[in-house]
A and B are shown apart, each in its own frame.
Chain A
Amino acid sequence: MTDFTQMGLKAIREGVAAGDFTAREVAEAHNDAVAAASELNAFIVATPDHALAAADKVDADRAAGKELGPMAGVPIGMKDLFATKGVQSTAASHILEGFVPPYESTVSQNLWDAGAGMLGKLNMDQFAMGSSNETSYFGNVKSPWRKNGSNAAMTPGGSSGGSSAAVAARLCPAATGTDTGGSIRQPAAVTGITGIKPTYGRCSRWGVVAFASSLDQAGPMARSVEDCAIMLGAMAGFDPKDSTSIDAPVPDWAAALDADLSGKTIGIPREYHMDGIDPQIEASWEQGKEWLRDAGAKVVEISLPHTKYALPAYYIIAPAEASSNLARYDGVRYGLRDLPEGSGLQDMYAATRAEGFGDEVKRRILIGTYVLSAGFYDAYYTQAQKVRTLVQRDFTEAFAQVDAILAPTTPNAAFALGEMQDDPLAMYLNDVFAVPASLAGLPAMSVPATLTQDGLPLGLQIVGKPMDEQGVLNAGLAIEQRAGFTAQPEKWW
């Protein structure tokens, strides 16, 4: 009997289209896998009926001879940051617990229109703030991966930790993620899967709970470059409801995939060689260069001189925007309301927000409020925006010489849950390689490269020119073909 959970997105779509099996069989197998994996805590809510209904529609359409969409018959996981009509959408927070939106986000609607079904809402770091999936109100997500010879629960990365864990554990062939400062790429890297953050503006932010509006971008997480290309095609597109959405046609990235990099130049940023990086990361980076050369590319060293200022600037800009974006969670109109007996409006705000937000969210609201306040604005926010401009200029200058940039995705492999919880700064460093591309709004992806000596996955990151998702995907494919990464976690849950 076929194990549908081992199949990728494209294989499922083609099998359904060819009539080798039904979409319903696929949905059922994945619903079962989700139900059996509660120990991973990857889902906040499962929506098996949604998956089945979408599958039945695809099966009926096929029987009726109708044309099937690019995601037809593929059940996916939906990060809980996306508003899904009639299904609780919480951003993994207590303040939105029980909130059921009367609307569907543009990206999720695009996916349903393409024939996908929803297995459930995926756990994540609360309001997408975190790099280890330890800030969710609904509990930590456990990675399906473990260190060799250890039973310690490992992080699936964050903030799209439910997404990475579910895809790596074969609970779903693909999932949505969102990336503000690495939240697709870092969890993909530490769980041995593939994820791409497209150019800022490719995917509509309408209906996605906002963390940092100028940085937030949705993207796919799956187990191959081609699956990511297919799913990104279904997610992306101009949306007049999002003023920052890019009004440009969506290319057929999957059809144009080409791992031949002859004539291409790949840049290696010298500033990404940082003290304290795991030597195994350096080694896999070296290996990556070899693979790209093997694919026909010329590999050159480049300089991105403002790299070291990117992370501090990010931790000013993102919290500043978040402090304002999260002001709407006030207990007045929806979500949690804590109204102590005899209290007034200010008391209600204080009680509701004290109760409804987790520590990391509060920390960032405080940082953001501080950096925007009178007397500090210029020293922090204005300065950080200047840095952002310089970081963008670094990339612009680099892309005058190279077609794409290769770097590690993370400075280390997965760590154990709890290991970094008391040290926010160490936690923030997880995104040191991911953040520059976010500040510049560039397409960037992580592809699995190898396993560490401990048996944990490492990823390589490709950063491309604005709007050049194709170049990023092609370089990713070249690495994927040479890395031959087939490892998957042994089932223990």
Chain B
Amino acid sequence: MSNYRIHGATGEWEVVIGLEVHAQVTTNAKLFSGASTAFGAEPNTQVSLVDAAMPGMLPVPNRECIRQAVRTGMAIEAQINKWSRFDRKNYFYADLPQGYQISQLYHPIVGEGQLLIEADEKAGIPEDKVIGIERIHVEQDAGKLMHDQHPTMSYVDLNRTGVALMEIVSRPDMTSPAEAGAYIRKLRAILRYVGSCDGNMEEGSMRADVNVSVRKVGDTELGTRTETKNVNSVRFVMQAIEHEVQRQIDVIEDGKKIVQETRLFDPGTGTTRSMRSKEDAHDYRYFPDPDLLPLILDEAFLDECRASLPELPDAKRTRYENDLGLTPYNARELTAEVETFGRFETLLGVAAKTLGKPEAEVATQVANWSLSVAPGVAKSLGDEANMANATAQRQAAILAMQDKGEISGGQAKEIYEIVLKEGREPDEIAETEGLKQVSDTGAIESAVDDILANNQDKVEQYRGGKDKLFGFFVGQTMKAMQGKANPAVVNQILKDKLG
């Protein structure tokens, strides 16, 4: 259980949160027309006769949109409904050419599913938690009104009209802003793993309607909820919840009642404001769309959807821990984003081959490199880093040199820095720039001999039991070798000579 509590004037409050996430399906064409879905095109250039709702035009479902919704459903372990149906949601607005949105109210394509959010002490999630997902249905997006084009008139851009959305409706299972944030991040990761949505919240590919209510700790009945529409980042979702929770508590403790209503989030102030109350809510007059037959999915289609699913975050994380021996932290970090695990797995493959070792043996080295060393170097370089230079082959070459003791950790970073800036090959950099450890025992031995001869007093003290002086000799040797000596070799020689 979340321990998120708000101390009000009248006692302790807890929060109940449900999220409806709208995720734009990644396809080239709209849900019911062949028009393109590319983002950022000139207004009204991606509009078919169907999207503009010209007289006599008819919707035809785009198979790829249906396929992606089914694959998403499978990824959240949901029931897939072999029989589903489209309904019309009727209302008038200038961005809605048909005068109705084609959606699925009564028989959604995906039924009950679930998603796991992982324990994150720092974020206030003490243990793993399963969040229920009530349903996923597919529906059309609306167009966009533009109020800044003319002094007295509004313009409408229909490019987005008819683009396929998945509405993913959670159960009211979240009890803190952190859980809501974790839920969206996890959902986003799953969508991106599956490839059904690019998860780009800035471009509006993913946005959330946030349902929030509060109740006194110990109460079993739900409080009256409000719905804050179209919140488009994880941070904003958490902010909206925090604000809404405080507002609701203030209202109730003030002796007033929460009104069931739709609210808008203002990213500028981090607050929500009322949009419309239940009393003037639309009567959408839902009914089955008579232009469309029920959607019937056959086994072959479902089999194909299932077979095309990639390894999903939870399974991958478990495999990283159990088979690759990664720490839970590393496993979680690496599997959180498609790009991260993609880079990791590519590098792991190449590195294992380059080193001639099984993946499990090099995984920890590659994980540390991928999560901490490499990003650290790139970050310190800022704009100077050209990430296109960071090929898996080059990174693997660095890791191999390090593994063989040819270079030190510090040298690995230096070499990688040059790789990022100049795109040169690590082997050549190590040679040319002299970034190599000396493992030549002769050179080290002669350096050690000099140091021991020049520090007879310390040698006596060490031999007399002052073990700590060993570090002094290592440091002097490394200094004499200009930091390029292989520390293991230095240690061994020192131990031999000091006896």
Contacts and interface: CB of A to CB of B under 8 A. Distances in A.
A324 B283 contact: no
A332 B97 contact: yes
Interface string B35-74: 0000000000000010011111111110000000000000
A28 B290 CA distance: 42
Q: Which residue, A83, A209, A243, has most C-beta atoms of chain B within 10 A? A: A243
Contact of B292 (A243, A328, A334): A243
Nearest to B47: A333
Contact of B285 (A83, A206, A241, A373): A373
A244 B56 contact: no
How many of chain B's residues touch chain A, expressed as a range? 20 to 34
Contacts of A102: 49
B152 to A, nearest CB: 9
A210 interface: yes
A324 B287 contact: yes
Given A241-B60, A349-B92, A369-B285, A328 B290 contact: no
B104 to A, nearest CB: 15
B156 interface: yes
A204 to B, nearest CB: 9
Interface in A180-224: 205-210, 212-214
B94 A332 contact: yes
A83 B57 CA distance: 10
A321 B88 CA distance: 10
Nearest to A328: B53
Given A324-B285, A373-B285, A334 B290 contact: no
A347 B56 CA distance: 26
A368 to B, nearest CB: 9
A385 to B, nearest CB: 8
B433 interface: no
B290 A241 contact: no
Contacts of B58: 205-206, 241-243
B283 A327 contact: no
Interface in B87-104: 88, 90, 92-94, 97-100
A36 to B, nearest CB: 31
B293 interface: yes
A96 to B, nearest CB: 7
Nearest to A350: B92
B440 interface: no
Contacts of B97: 328, 332-333
Contacts of B88: 324
A18 interface: no
Contacts of A377: 285-287
Interface in B260-292: 283, 285-287, 290-292
B98 A205 contact: no
Given A324-B99, A327-B100, A345-B94, A214 B290 contact: yes
A374 B283 CA distance: 6
Interface string B221-243: 00000000000000000000000
Contacts of B60: 240-243
Contact of B55 (A99, A214, A242, A327): A99
A91 interface: yes
A469 B60 CA distance: 26
A179 to B, nearest CB: 16
Contacts of A96: 55
Interface string A361-387: 000000001001110010001000000
Contacts of B90: 323-324, 327, 372
Residue picked from A82, A332, A345, A377, most chain B C-beta under 10 Å: A332
Interface string A352-363: 000000000000
Given A89-B55, A372-B287, A381-B287, 8 more contacts: A82-B56, A83-B56, A208-B56, A214-B290, A243-B293, A324-B88, A345-B93, A345-B94
15 contacts: A103-B54, A205-B58, A209-B56, A213-B291, A242-B60, A320-B287, A323-B90, A323-B285, A324-B287, A328-B55, A328-B99, A332-B94, A345-B93, A373-B283, A374-B285
Give me the 4 closest cross-chain CB pairs, A-B, nearest first.
Answer: A327-B99, A213-B290, A214-B290, A372-B285
